[in-house]
Amino acid sequence: MGTNYYVAKNKCDCCNRYDKEYHIGKSSWGWSFTFQGYKWDNLTSWKLWKEYLKDKIVVDEYGEFMNYADFVEMVETVKSPGYIRQDGKKNLSYNSGNWFNPKYDWDDEAGYSFTSREFS
């Protein structure tokens, strides 16, 4: 089980209603964060996503808002590719599976998995 994260836009301060602009990616137990890549908008690495998100609103699939600093901390610590979990095992990588296709999937320079295919 995991949690998907999105960029929220047009957020109403009265009712907290918002539109989803981008699917950022998914956090799943035992796995490093898997990013949705948008080649046409140059969101193809964690470094580029991190810069883009600085002035954006991050929301999870349950409607919980997450501030930028907390999101970055999650991605760069417990959801990083090299993180060793409490069970002594390293986070798995999405692109290490049999579904890897270099036409759609890649790892960035920090080792985070990206895909341009839709997923949830």
The token duo for 106 is 């890649």
Q: Which two tokens stand for residue 103?
A: 């036409």
27-66 pLDDT, tens digit each: 999 999 999 999 999 999 999 999 999 999 999 999 999 9
Q: What is the pLDDT of residue 1?
A: 75
Q: pTM, whole model, 2 decimals?
A: 0.91
* Angle between helix 68-76 and 46-53 (nearest 10): 170
Please report, to the nearest 10 degrees, the dihedral formed by the alpha carbons of residues 53, 24, 112, 48 taken in order: -30
Q: What is the mean pLDDT of the chain?
A: 93
Confidence grade of residue 113 (pLDDT, cut at 50, 70, 90): very high
| Alpha carbon of residue 57 to chain centroid | 13
Residue 71: pLDDT over 90: yes
Amino acid 97: pLDDT? 74
Residue 24's nearest CA partner among 68, 59, 55 is 59
Helix residue ranges per DSSP H, 54-108: 68-76
